[in-house]
Amino acid sequence: MAGRSANEAGVPSRDRDARSLTLPELQSTLATWSEPPFRATQIMEWLHRRRVTGWEAMTNLPRPLRQRLANRFTLRCLEPRVVQGSADTTRKFLWRLPDGAFVESVLIPANPALYGEASDRVTLCVSTQVGCAYGCRFCASGLGGWKRNLEPFEIVEQVLAAERWHAAQPAAGTATRLVTNLVIMGMGEPLANYDRLLRALRILNADWGGRIGARRITLSTCGLVPQIRRLATEPEQFGLAISLHGATDPVRERIMPVNRKYPLAQLIPACEAYIAGKGRIITLEYILIAGVNDGPDQAPPLADIARRLRAKINLIPYNRVDGLPWERPEPARQERFLAALEQRGARATLRREKGHDIDAACGQLRLRTGLETADEPSGNPS
Ligand code: SAH
């Protein structure tokens, strides 16, 4: 992995972007240049609060220092290629990465903003990889296979670039932070890019960085057992969501090949370890797919798993993906499934999704615009 060969600041040598740096790392670089430590704080303020895109904008730094920083670090930005709006003000971004690959983010206000009134919670759904290796049968992201991991700055930049875009809108307010919550549910499997993701989340969480509380950050995984156990030992209180989608091994395996490697008998104890380590509730995501996992054979075992884990079930009607055969069940069947869960004492909600009209399910925009094959990425698989 690229991170094994580190430069003097402990930064992966292939990724020299300033948004991949922590404050102590920047301070140690500046110390070798005999610069005072407060310069590092000033730089972080420019990067993470003012979201500048060039060193020359950092007007309270001496010009030679700006030049030196520019020689040492990059400041590469994501370009929005398509910004889709939706009736409920959900926004979907398709980002062009520095190497020409494409990933997506979705901006979701909790309560649709009314005239002149800001929404109280704004969630950004971010991507962690270009493509995905896990091949879940319902998901658009895995259709073209896995291309590469995102670097930390490419994860951090999704937040900064979405906020930059928002600040440029005529109706934008003056708040320094737009995004209050993060869900790591975009393209890719977050826990398969563990080290880079954790670095990015720590930067987004830090006081000197994004200042997004760890409890407002939720990671979603297809169920990578060793990494769930590892995450349970980290100091941060990140939320965890499990893409379950099947409550017995045969059904889950049909939907998610990863279940062969990590069957329910391993996944559920790993979830228990996470809950014990964090004292946090986890969420079970369950896409309802007509005739596949929405029948009376799945509701009772799903309710049992949720009760065992004291987890909340999030039922999501399947979003059609071009090239995939499945359909969502009729609303009455969705309601019956929900009722069966509740009858067995499980906590569940049926999502009336935001963004259904803008291809907001994972990987759908990239798929629909055909941009996933636009350029050959040059990233280093690890
Ligand atoms: N790899 C991670 C994150 C990406 S998928 C994981 O598996 O959790 C995250 C979520 O996106 C899924 O659990 C599901 O809730 C949603 N999703 C993806 N494709 C979808 C589709 N076609 N219809 C509805 N929801 C979908």
Query: For residue 60, what pLDDT band results from cuts at 50, 70 and 90?
Result: very high
Sign, CA torsion 195/200/91/350: positive
Asked if residue 202 and residue 58 are part of one domain, the reply reads no
Distance 185 CA to ligand 1 centre (A): 7
Looking at the DSSP bridge assignments, the partners of residue 123 are: 108, 181
- Number of structural domains the chain divides into: 2
Point out the ligand 1 atom lying closest to the alpha carbon of residue 189: 1
| 177 — pLDDT class (breaks 50, 70, 90) | confident
| pLDDT for residue 101 | 96
- Which range of residues forms the domain containing residue 41? 18-72
Report if residue 231 sits inside a domain: yes
Report the mean per-residue pLDDT for the chain.
89
Calculate the CA 378 to chain-centre distance.
Answer: 22
Instruction: Write the residue with the smallest CA distance to atom 10 of ligand 1.
Output: 185
Residue 349 pLDDT greater than 50, yes or no: yes
Does residue 1 belong to any structural domain of this protein? no
pLDDT value, residue 153: 98
Determine if ligand 1 sits within 6 Å of the CB of residue 220: yes
Domain at 48, CATH number: 1.10.150.530
Of 125, 132, 222, 362, the active-site residue reads 362
What's the predicted TM-score (pTM) here?
0.90
Asked whether residue 25 is assigned to any structural domain, the reply reads yes
Same domain, 132 and 26: no
Query: What digits encode the pLDDT tens for the residues 129-163?
Result: 999 999 999 999 888 899 999 999 999 999 999 99
* CATH of residue 248: 3.20.20.70
Annotated active-site residue 117? The verdict is: no
Within 8 A by CB and 6+ apart from 68, the residues are: 33
Question: What is the phi-psi region of residue 312: left when phi exceeds 0, alpha when psi lies from -120 to 50, beta otherwise?
Answer: beta
Q: Look at residue 293 and tell me whether its pLDDT is greater than 90.
A: yes
Residue 12 domain flag = no
Among 119-128, 217-226, 258-267, 283-292, which is the least confidently predicted range? 119-128
Do 159 and 48 sit in the same domain of this protein?
no
The predicted pLDDT at position 382 comes to 31
Residue from 238, 362, 365, 367 to probe ligand 1 pocket by mutation (most atoms less than 8 Å from CB): 362
Report how far ligand 1's centroid is from the alpha carbon of 327 (Å).
15
DSSP assignment of 70-112 equals HHH-B---PEEEEEEE-TTS-EEEEEEPTTS-EEEEEEEESS-
Distance (Å, whole) CA 127 – CA 104 = 6
Backbone angles phi, psi at 147, to 5 degrees: -110, -55
Strand partners, 241: 220, 283
Which neighbouring-strand residues pair with 347?
312
pLDDT at res. 144: 86
What's the full length of the chain, in residues? 382
| Angstrom distance (rounded) from CA 27 to CA 327 | 53
> What is the rounded end-to-end Cα distance, in angstroms, of the chain?
5
Bridge partners, residue 134, by sequence = none
Last residue of a domain, one of 43, 72, 101: 72
Between 368 and 207, the higher pLDDT residue: 207
For position 2, what pLDDT does the model report?
39
Question: Tell me, what's the pLDDT at 33?
Answer: 98
Quickly state the pLDDT bin for 14 (edges 50, 70, 90): confident
Are 89 and 159 members of one domain?
yes
Region 279-304: what's the mean pLDDT?
Answer: 96
Confidence grade of residue 173 (pLDDT, cut at 50, 70, 90): low
- The verdict on 188 and 315 lying in the same domain is yes
Same domain, 187 and 273: yes
Instruction: Give the pLDDT band of residue 120 (cuts 50, 70, 90).
Output: confident
Atom 22 in ligand 1: residue holding the nearest Cα: 319
Q: Report residue 110's pLDDT band, with 50, 70 and 90 as the boundaries.
A: confident
Q: Where are the beta strands (DSSP E) in 150-296?
A: 181-184, 217-221, 239-243, 283-288
